[in-house]
Structure 1
Amino acid sequence: MKKKMIAFNATVMLGLSAVLSTPTYAQTMSEMQAQKQEVQKKQADVQSNLKEAEDKLSSLKSEQKELIAQLNRLNLATEKNNEKVEETEKQITETNKKVKSLEKEIDELKEKLAQREEVIKERARSLQKSGGNVDYVSVILGSADIGDLIGRAFAVNTVAEADRDLLQETKDMQDSLEKKQKEVKDKLSSLKDMKAELEEMQAQLETQTAQKDKVMEDLKAQEMDSADIKAALEQQSSSLKDQESNLDESISAEQKRQEEIKAQEAAKKAAEEAAAKASAEPKQNTESSNAEVAQAPQAKDAPTAAPNSKNTTEERSSVKAETTSTPSSNVSSTPTSGNVVTVGNKWIGNSAYVFGGGRTQSDIDNGLFDCSSFVRWAYAQVGVDLGPMGAVSTDTLKHKGTKVSASSMKPGDLVFFDTYKKDGHVGIYVGGGQFIGAQSSTGVAIANMSSGYWANHFSGHVVRI
């Protein structure tokens, strides 16, 4: 709205300028004085609009500077997250190779287990033929598979020593392989979840970047409009100054002309009075009177030109408004107390989420955090060390301090959320059902954990430092 008003005022003023800039010659001093006052009034209006345009330009440049900083931060976050996605994809590829290798080992082991099953059953048959323990034989031969066989065999009290060793070795091999298989599958599942979260995060960063690019385009368009308005107003101001200068010259010339006319009229009147006086004197004084009259014109003729009077021209100066711009700054004082719930406010709107970020001073200087590094940084500001900068994680943080119930949590407590893994996200409770943390979609921000996404993912795990 403000820009439109400036544009409207500028249009009106330029229209008036077109009229006023046409050379006109006032017939009287009062007309010229009135015209000068009108020009000065228009000049004051132009200066007011010019200041408004300059203020607008200054504001737009400040917004652009802040937006450029945000875009640089988002671009850096996108770059780092892309690197993390690529790293995760490599880990997934390597883990898939391990899974295939384990599957091959499992197939080989199954074949060995089948062979051992036949060996054990053959021993049982031999034992039966030789009159051995009937219960043992029926247990072995009646098993459904190798797993069932091992379970049944160990349940029998009388097992041959050789069979026991064979069964124990087989059981250990089977348990070890199953454990490895579970570990690898769990890691693969975790990596896939992490990749999904990273891709979602990248999509959010790209959306934010696109939105900010659009805002930047709008700001630049507004800047061009304001610059055009300012240029038009400056041209108008210059035109009005020229008009005022021309009027001053005209007024000065008119004043000089009127003074000359007055001087001539005074000289004429003086001559007429002298002539009348001479004609009225007695005859005896004719000679002296004639002499005086003869001398009078010489005295009166001297000022026939305009008297040498100093013309005083009313001097007026056009006051040009100056714009004083005081750059805003988000300066936060160093905390002097343990109020950890507010020290992170300086990063709200000035940060971006980077998976694995916040573990170097460069990342911190640029406002690049993940959830755990932000929590560590916030506590460090109030003098509490939660571990080395490069090694902090949700896993290390959940074992700090004392675990408390969710119903008794207080501002400053750590709250955990199940995201791509259990307790995969952490923040600092600020009270009122809210927490502050580095969120993937916003960077550092205060979020609601009483409803919506965070309420659904709150694990109930709360730690008091």
Structure 2
Amino acid sequence: MKKSVITIAVATTVGLGTIFGGVTVKTEAESISGLKGEQTKIQDQRSNIKADINSANDKINTLQRQQADVKSEKKRLDFAIDDTTDKINDKTEKVKSTKAEVAKLQAETKVIKERIQKRNVLLKERARSYQENGGMVSYLDVLMGSTSFNDFIDRANAVATIVQADQEILEQHEADKKELLEKQTRVETNLASLQKMLVDLKNMNQQLSAQKKEKEKLLASLKDQEEEAHEGMLDMQEREQILAAQEAAIKRSIQNERERQAREAAQAKSNQSKSGSSGTSSTSSGSSASSSAPKVSSGSFTRPAPGVITSTFGARGGSFHYGFDIAKPGDNVPIVAAADGEVYVSHYSSSYGNVVYILHNINGQTYTTVYAHMRRSLVGAGATVKKGQQIGVMGNTGDSRGQHLHFELYKGRWQYHAAINPSGIVPL
């Protein structure tokens, strides 16, 4: 199973704990003292893991707040993009209307130019007439050629009218040229301003869209980090649960050890008072394993499953394999307890699948065995099992490739990556 950074950090902290020593317990007091020592170590580890869980939870809360901030910023950008898009559409429409105004002005300009051209022709004719008739002299001739005072007045009025008409033509000519220039300048300026505004808005929209993409990337990264932190926290919570179950099992082991010592003391006292009496011994395997289960060995441990060993303890493919893999095809391949003990964990793990943890107390020495990837478990936490008793069925659950049993042995309590080589201890 791929572990997150948080999980690896916690695993390293847990895994670096000292392995329970291998010195044989010499006295009954030392046996109970050793179990209490294990209990204290587990309590310390649980305390450390709880602190790490709290830190992971704080990190998750921080990541969630950061995501909320990014979502808020993304929402603001969405509104800004929407507003800018509306403005772009508005300015685009105004550019269209201004271009239509330009087209209309061009038509008006054509008319004005035609008027100017006609006036130019008229003015040229006037100028040629002035030149041919000596300019104002022709008007004097007109006045002097009057036959009476009334005729003079009429001719003077006619000359004034002609001069005024010429003046009005010139003034209109200049007004038309000025109007044309003003309209052209105004419309061209307006169009240039709108086109620049449109370009600026489009650039702004592109920048806002780029910012939105960056926020989306940041949000995706924060979500990945949160998922990783959740995975790490769940892994730590599972480890804490295993340690809690171990602590409870050790408490029961202490009580069982006290009761065993009391029974042995009572038996010894009884034996002393019954000199020469002999008891019968009975052998009980307590096994409910099927006929395909491995034969129960003499000694403290027995083989946990039938089949072929496909992987041993040690380096494997660039990593380290902390147990033995035993594979056997078929349905209902039994898995048995390797020694007498108490089941303190029986659950589903994302890495080990259906897995059982058993705590053993053998001649004052504590051992832990782990049975992983089972198709199903037949025992629950708190169950007392005997060596060779069936506890599950071989399977392919969790992070597994093919039906097999992954078996681990720990000297003392379970600790991450602290398993020992079962060869020479468990008959495999």
1:15, distance to aligned residue in structure 2 (A): 5.5
Q: Equivalent residue for 2:84?
A: 81
Q: Equivalent residue for 1:241?
A: 244
1:49, distance to aligned residue in structure 2 (A): 1.3
1:61 aligns with 2:64: yes
Q: Equivalent residue for 1:124?
A: 127
Task: Return the letter of the residue paired with 1:49.
Answer: D
Between the aligned partners of 1:212 and 1:46, the Cα distance in structure 2 is 34
Between the aligned partners of 2:91 and 2:181, the Cα distance in structure 1 is 25
SS in 1 for 2:174: helix
Q: Equivalent residue for 2:7?
A: 7
Contact 1:29 1:254 (8 Å CA) reproduced? yes
Q: Equivalent residue for 2:155?
A: none
Q: Equivalent residue for 1:45?
A: 48
Task: Return the letter of the residue paired with 1:46.
Answer: I
SS in 2 for 1:84: helix
Alignment partner of 1:223 out of 205, 223, 226: 226
1:168 aligns with 2:171: yes
Q: Any idea what the Cα deviations from partners look like across 1:265-318, whole Å, max 9, x if unmatched? A: 78999x99xxxxxxxxxxxxxxxxxxxxxxxxxxxxxxxxxxxxxxxxxxxxxx
Task: Return the letter of the residue paired with 2:119.
Answer: R
Q: Which moved more, 1:36-45 or 1:57-66?
A: 36-45
Contact 1:13 1:236 (8 Å CA) reproduced? no
1:256, distance to aligned residue in structure 2 (A): 3.0
1:55, distance to aligned residue in structure 2 (A): 0.8
Q: Which moved more, 1:168-177 or 1:222-231?
A: 168-177
Between the aligned partners of 1:173 and 1:129, the Cα distance in structure 2 is 29
Q: Equivalent residue for 1:95?
A: 98
Q: Equivalent residue for 1:369?
A: none
Between the aligned partners of 1:42 and 1:132, the Cα distance in structure 2 is 122
- Structure with greater strand percent: 2
SS in 2 for 1:132: coil
Alignment partner of 1:194 out of 197, 201, 204: 197
Q: Any idea what the Cα deviations from partners look like across 1:391-436, whole Å, max 9, x if unmatched? A: xxxxxxxxxxxxxxxxxxxxxxxxxxxxxxxxxxxxxxxxxxxxxx
- Structure with greater helix percent: 1
Between the aligned partners of 2:266 and 2:59, the Cα distance in structure 1 is 56
| Structure 2 alignment gaps of length 5 or more | 140-161, 275-428
Task: Return the letter of the residue paired with 1:88.
Answer: K
1:94, distance to aligned residue in structure 2 (A): 0.9
Between the aligned partners of 1:88 and 1:7, the Cα distance in structure 2 is 56
Task: Return the letter of the residue paired with 1:56.
Answer: K
1:167, distance to aligned residue in structure 2 (A): 1.1
Task: Return the letter of the residue paired with 2:92.
Answer: E
Q: Equivalent residue for 1:359?
A: none
1:187, distance to aligned residue in structure 2 (A): 0.6
1:11, distance to aligned residue in structure 2 (A): 3.0
Q: Equivalent residue for 2:35?
A: 32
Task: Return the letter of the residue paired with 1:72.
Answer: K
Q: Equivalent residue for 2:341?
A: none
1:14, distance to aligned residue in structure 2 (A): 6.9
With normalisation by structure 2, the TM-score equals: 0.51
Alignment partner of 1:178 out of 155, 159, 181: 181
Between the aligned partners of 1:244 and 1:259, the Cα distance in structure 2 is 23
Q: Any idea what the Cα deviations from partners look like across 1:190-216, whole Å, max 9, x if unmatched? A: 101101111111111111111111111
Q: How does 1:16-415 map to 2 (within 5 A)?
A: 28-133=31-136, 160-260=163-263
Q: Any idea what the Cα deviations from partners look like across 1:120-175, whole Å, max 9, x if unmatched? A: 121222233333238x9xxxxxxxxxxxxxxxxxxxxxx92111011112222221
Q: Percent identity?
A: 27
SS in 1 for 2:66: helix
1:10, distance to aligned residue in structure 2 (A): 2.9
Between the aligned partners of 1:5 and 1:193, the Cα distance in structure 2 is 52
With normalisation by structure 1, the TM-score equals: 0.48
Contact 2:7 2:235 (8 Å CA) reproduced? no
Contact 1:6 1:52 (8 Å CA) reproduced? no
Contact 2:32 2:257 (8 Å CA) reproduced? yes
1:48, distance to aligned residue in structure 2 (A): 1.5
Q: CA RMSD in A?
A: 3.4
Contact 2:4 2:228 (8 Å CA) reproduced? no
Contact 1:6 1:229 (8 Å CA) reproduced? yes
Q: Equivalent residue for 1:363?
A: none
